[in-house]
Amino acid sequence: MLDHRQNRVVVFVVAGVAGLLTAGLARPSGDRSLDARVEVDRSALEKALFCCWREETCAKAGRVLDQPCDMNCWRFAAEDMEVWEYSGDLSPAKLPWEVRIDPTRRPMRLDIICLRGPRPTVLPGIFKFEGGRLIWVTPSMDEQWPALNPSGEYLSRPTAFTSTAANGCDKRVLALCALYEQVGAR
């Protein structure tokens, strides 16, 4: 569990990364130093994102879930990820899914790629950091995922950080947590 000082450092790092990305990507340039800075920023962004997060709230098609028994925790990494329940039996599922981000898009993209089955599928999403939290929006995870498209363009990709009955999206507000953290285990 992070203490108050560590939380402030994380917020500072995340805010700095977001500021650098916004400043560095807001204008096109042929300058190679900008390309190098974007790559450094991407690395810092991955470092901030590829860790463990617990849901504080999850809205599914506009219906807000905020009880610990309804929450999951997530560990994002480039080549796999894990998910486990925040309360109840600790049964983490290590998933052979790739996590791909594209910080050059607005909003930034976070795609989950499932390589199982006859052809890869994708859960296209968007994300941002806000107030030390990770905001992650995807189409409903319960719907069939589309086939992986090399262009990264999907009709089902959310365009806003909302979850409504009309858009059917899942919106998760996530806070940093420890690996396999659960309610009551702090």
Quote the CA–CA distance of 39 and 59 in Å, as a whole number: 33
Domain count, the chain: 1
Kindly indicate the confidence band of residue 9, based on its pLDDT and cuts at 50, 70 and 90. Answer: very low
Identify whether 120 is part of a domain: yes
Identify whether 35 is part of a domain: no
pLDDT at 96: 85
Mean pLDDT lowest among 13-22, 74-83, 90-99: 13-22
Identify whether 16 is part of a domain: no
Kindly indicate the confidence band of residue 33, based on its pLDDT and cuts at 50, 70 and 90. Answer: low
Q: Is the dihedral of CA 110, 16, 53, 179 positive or negative?
A: positive
Kindly indicate the confidence band of residue 38, based on its pLDDT and cuts at 50, 70 and 90. Answer: low
Identify whether 9 is part of a domain: no
Looking at every residue in the chain, the average pLDDT score rounds to: 83
Identify whether 107 is part of a domain: yes
What is the average per-residue pLDDT within 57-74?
A: 94
Parent domain of 101: 50-176
> Helix, strand, or coil here: 175?
strand
pLDDT at 39: 60
What is the average per-residue pLDDT within 76-104?
A: 92
Which pLDDT tens digit goes with each residue over 106-153?
999 999 999 888 899 999 999 999 999 999 999 999 999 999 998 999
Identify whether 181 is part of a domain: no
pLDDT at 36: 52
**Structure pTM?**
0.78
Identify whether 41 is part of a domain: no
Assess whether pLDDT exceeds 90 at residue 4.
no
User: Residue 146, Cα to own-chain centre: how many angstroms?
Assistant: 18
Contact between 163 and 60 under an 8 Å Cβ cutoff? The reply is yes
pLDDT at 146: 97
Kindly indicate the confidence band of residue 41, based on its pLDDT and cuts at 50, 70 and 90. Answer: confident
Identify whether 19 is part of a domain: no
What residues contact 1, with CB distance under 8 A and at least 6 apart? 177, 178, 181, 186
Assess whether pLDDT exceeds 60 at residue 10.
no
